Amino acid sequence: MDESVQDQLFEADDRLSHVLRHVYCVQHPSHAAPVLRQLMPNYEMLLVFNFGPPVAASVGEVDYLVQQTAVIGPLHTLLRYTVPPGADLLVVVFALNGFHRLMGKSVQELKPTGKDMVAPDLLQRERAFEGVWEELAALRSAAERVEFLNEYVLLATTPSDDDTRAMLNGVAHVNNLAIDP
């Protein structure tokens, strides 16, 4: 792993633990060489905000270029991406039905069948996160961005119903590595 890439992991705010797992921030100096990274299949939903140069990514045999925003997942195959010089990314990792609660839509409604990534232009057409991206881009520190994002998600997330609460009670079982590696 290249030490010039600065990674920060922010655990989900307790009030959002049923919506978000964590937020991952990546920054890479503009003078550094690109770094290739991989993310193993994990069936999680990711929302990517890119504040730097475009990020090349591939899921399976399909290549993508993330300009400002992208929704990736549920990840069924290996995700490879290149952290370019000057990269500045914020990646939101959702918990269980958190993506649906934030977007009000299922992943199947947003992405083509059989694809692991929603085309970034689809999000732009829906203007789903344009305002959020602009607000986040104006903030400089990762901590400020995560705090803003937490407040946004708190306001924008729909409450869970009784069926969802029952499903969420099984989270400890799902996240037990002895049971589900």
Rounded distance between C-alpha atoms, residue 146 and residue 10, angstroms: 8
What long-range pairs does 110-113 form, CB within 8 A, spacing at least 24? 110/71, 111/71
Query: What's the pTM?
Result: 0.78
DSSP letters, 123-146, are HHHHTSSHHHHHHHHH--SHHHHH
pLDDT reading at 166 higher than 70: no
Q: Which two tokens stand for residue 165?
A: 């609460």
pLDDT reading at 161 higher than 70: no
Asked if the model's pLDDT at residue 173 lies above 80, the reply is no
What pLDDT score does 176 carry?
A: 60
Other C-beta atoms within 10 Å of 33: how many? 11
Q: Provide the terminal-to-terminal Cα distance of the chain, rounded to the nearest Å.
A: 24
